[in-house]
Amino acid sequence: MIRQSKEREAQQEAERRRKQIARDNRSKGMGGGAGVSGGIASMRDFADDLRSGAASAAATIETNSSFDSFSRPPTSAPPPKAGAGMKLGKGLKGGGAAPSSLLQAMAAEADESSAAVTSSRPATTTTAQGGSPGGATASGLVLTAEEKLTVTMSRESGMQGLEINGILQLLNNDPTSGKAVVPLQMGANPGFQFKTHPNIDKQLFANESSLGLRDPTRPFPVGSAVGVLKWRLASSDEALLPLLINAWPTQTGADSWEVSVEYELASATYPQLEVHNLSVTIPTPVDAPPSINASVGAATYSRRDNTVTWNVPLIDGTSASGTVELQLSGIASADALFPIAVDFSAASTLCSLSIPEVRSLDGGGPMAFTTASTLLVESYLIP
C-alpha cells in the first residue's frame, strides 16, 4: 500500500512536470532546442527517481513485514472477498511488476498468520451416541471437566496446603439437544464441596446426582458454554496429593552441595491416574554446570536462567517414582536452591465424576454427547 501510494504520487508529479514543460515550450514558441532537451533530461531524471523510490518503498515494506512476523502473535483472519483486496498476481499500475522478494515476504507472513496454535495439555475425550470429539465442532452436547491444582510443600518433606478447584461446563451445539438431563456417576469424594449453577435443579442434583434445568421447558442455550457444576477441596492431607515432590539438599563441603529431588505417584489414592509432562525447575546459581543424573526422563542446565529443569513425559504405574541428583559448588546456603517449581497435567480429574449418558427430556431416550477431562497445575511450589 505504501509503495502504491508513492507510485501514484510520483505519477501525478510526472504529469504535473510534463504539463509544465509543455507550457514552457509553448511560451517559447517551441523554438529552443535546449529547452526541449532539458525537459527530456528532466523527465529522465524524474523517471530514475521514480524507480529508486519504488524500490526503496518495497524494501521498507519487506523490512516491516519481517519485523511484524516476530513482534505480533499470529492471528487468523477471514479470507478476503472475491474481487476485493490486493491482487498479488496482477502487474502494478503503469505496467510494472511487484518485486518477487516482496511477494515472497507477504506470502510468508500470510502463512505464518494462518498457522494454528495448539495446546500441549492432554485431555481425554469420550464420544457417545454418535457424537464427535472436538469442542464446538462436535454434535449434540459437549461436557468438559477441568480441575486446577494449587499446592504448597514444605522443605522438610511435608505438605503445607492443597486446594483443588473444578468446573463442569456444558456446551450445546444443536438446537434440538437443549432439553436434556445429565446423570452423573460420582464416587465418594470425601472433603469435596459441590455447587450447581442457579438455573440447575438443586433438588434433582441432591437426590439423583443429575444435572437438569430448574425450568424443564427451557433448553440449554446454543453455542455458549455454561458452567453447570463447580467443586472445591481444601486439605492438608498429603494422601490426596496426586504427585508428591520432595527435595533433599545435603552440604558436602564449604560451598558444595548434593541435591536429590524425587517424585512419587499417589497410586493408592488414584490407581488410574497418569501424569503427563512433569517439569521440575530447580534454581542453581552457580558458575560451572552441575553434575546431573536422572533415573527417568531428562534434566538440562540453563546457564542463562541459572536453573536445572527435570522433564518426565509420562508417569504411570510402571514409573510411579523417580529421582534426579545434582552435584554443584559455589553455593553458600541451601536457600539458594529454592523455590522449586513443579508443573504437570493429567487427562482425568481428581474428583471422581463420570457421565455415562445424557437423556432427552422430550422422549427420555439417549442423546449424542462428548466428554473431556483435564487436570492442570495452577501453582505447585516448594518455597
Strands (E), 253-361: 256-265, 275-283, 291-294, 298-302, 307-315, 321-329, 340-346, 353-354, 359-360
Mean pLDDT of the chain: 79
Phi (first) and psi of residue 204, to 5 degrees = -65, -40
Give the separation between CA 219 and CA 284, rounded to whole angstroms.
Answer: 56
Residue 93's pLDDT band, with cuts at 50, 70 and 90, is very low
Are 124-239+350-382 and 243-346 the same fold in CATH? yes
Model confidence over 64-78: pLDDT tens digits? 433 333 333 444 444
The residue behind cell 443429575 is 210
Cβ neighbours for 259, distance < 8 A, ≥ 6 positions apart: 247, 248, 249, 250, 282, 325, 326, 328, 337
Question: Residue 171 belongs to what H/E stretch?
Answer: strand 158-172
Mean pLDDT, rounded, for 338-347: 98
Phi (first) and psi of residue 223, to 5 degrees = 80, 10
pLDDT attached to residue 2: 80
Model confidence over 249-260: pLDDT tens digits? 999 999 999 999
| Residue ranges of domains in the chain | 2-113, 124-239+350-382, 243-346
Secondary-structure class of domain 243-346 per CATH? mainly beta
Residue 49's pLDDT band, with cuts at 50, 70 and 90, is low
pTM score, two decimals?
Answer: 0.65
Amino acid at 168: L
pLDDT attached to residue 22: 78
Mean pLDDT, rounded, for 183-190: 94
297 φ/ψ sector (left φ>0, alpha ψ -120 to 50, else beta): left
The residue behind cell 475425550 is 125
Asked if pLDDT for residue 115 goes beyond 50, the answer is no
Q: Which CATH superfamily is domain 124-239+350-382 in?
A: Mu homology domain, subdomain B (2.60.40.1170)
Give the separation between CA 90 and CA 87, rounded to whole angstroms.
Answer: 6
Mean pLDDT, rounded, for 50-73: 43
Long-range CB pairs of 38-45 (<8 Å, 24+ gap) are: 42/17, 43/14, 43/17, 43/18
CA atoms within 13 A on the CB side of 209: 11
